[in-house]
Amino acid sequence: MYENILIPTDGSDTANVAVAHAVDLAATYGARLHALYVVDIDAVNFGLGTEQVDRITQGNFGEMTELQEKADKATGAVAAAAADHDVEVHEEVRVGAPHDVIAGYADSKDIDLVVMGSHGRSGVKRALLGSVTERVLRTTHRPVLVIDERGDD
């Protein structure tokens, strides 16, 4: 049923809850796991020159080593969790608007299932802050499993 499962991650607690579910599903179905970290270009663009933004967009983080380290740590955590279950992982770092990159990646890699965490926001907070997960749900035609970080309590 599932051959390729995408787990977008930013290394947060919310993402890590979703990672556990994605690894379990990948192990159950013998699927390949895709760990995707998206550098939100709008978030890093503030205060940068055009040349720096162009380099980051091309995946060259130059002197911004902390950005590369954060991405590597987030996708590496997925790979480490998957290794404990003999699940193959492809790690990828891309740059852009997170929901667009996630949906585009899912289409380009023929992803069977996207597994994402949800912060569990509602009402005004969700309306004001927006939600990458919600936007992915609206922009992709792939199945998306949303994991509530609050768990089962």
CATH code where residue 121 lies: 3.40.50.620
In a domain, 30, yes or no: yes
In a domain, 127, yes or no: yes
Q: How confident is the model at residue 45 (pLDDT cuts 50, 70, 90)?
A: low
Cα–chain-centroid distance for residue 2? 18
32-40 and 113-118 as β-strands: parallel, antiparallel, unpaired? unpaired
Q: Which tokens go with 59?
A: 């995946």
The candidate with the shortest Cα–Cα distance to 15, out of 103, 147, 113, is: 147
Structural domain count of the chain = 1
Q: Report the mean per-residue pLDDT for the chain.
A: 83
In a domain, 89, yes or no: yes
Higher pLDDT, 71 or 65: 71
Predicted structure pTM score: 0.83
d(CA 122, CA 88): 35
Q: Which domain holds residue 56?
A: 4-148
pLDDT, residue 150, reads 63
In a domain, 153, yes or no: no
Higher pLDDT, 79 or 131: 79
Model pLDDT for residues 77-103, shown as the tens digit of each residue? 999 999 999 999 999 998 888 999 999
Q: How confident is the model at residue 129 (pLDDT cuts 50, 70, 90)?
A: very low
Q: What is the CB-side half-sphere exposure of residue 33 using CA atoms within 13 A?
A: 33
pLDDT, residue 9, reads 94
Q: How confident is the model at residue 69 (pLDDT cuts 50, 70, 90)?
A: confident
Cα dihedral sign for 21, 22, 27, 30? positive
Strands (E), 17-130: 32-40, 89-96, 113-118
In a domain, 15, yes or no: yes
State the average pLDDT over residues 38-50.
Answer: 65
State the average pLDDT over residues 124-150.
Answer: 78
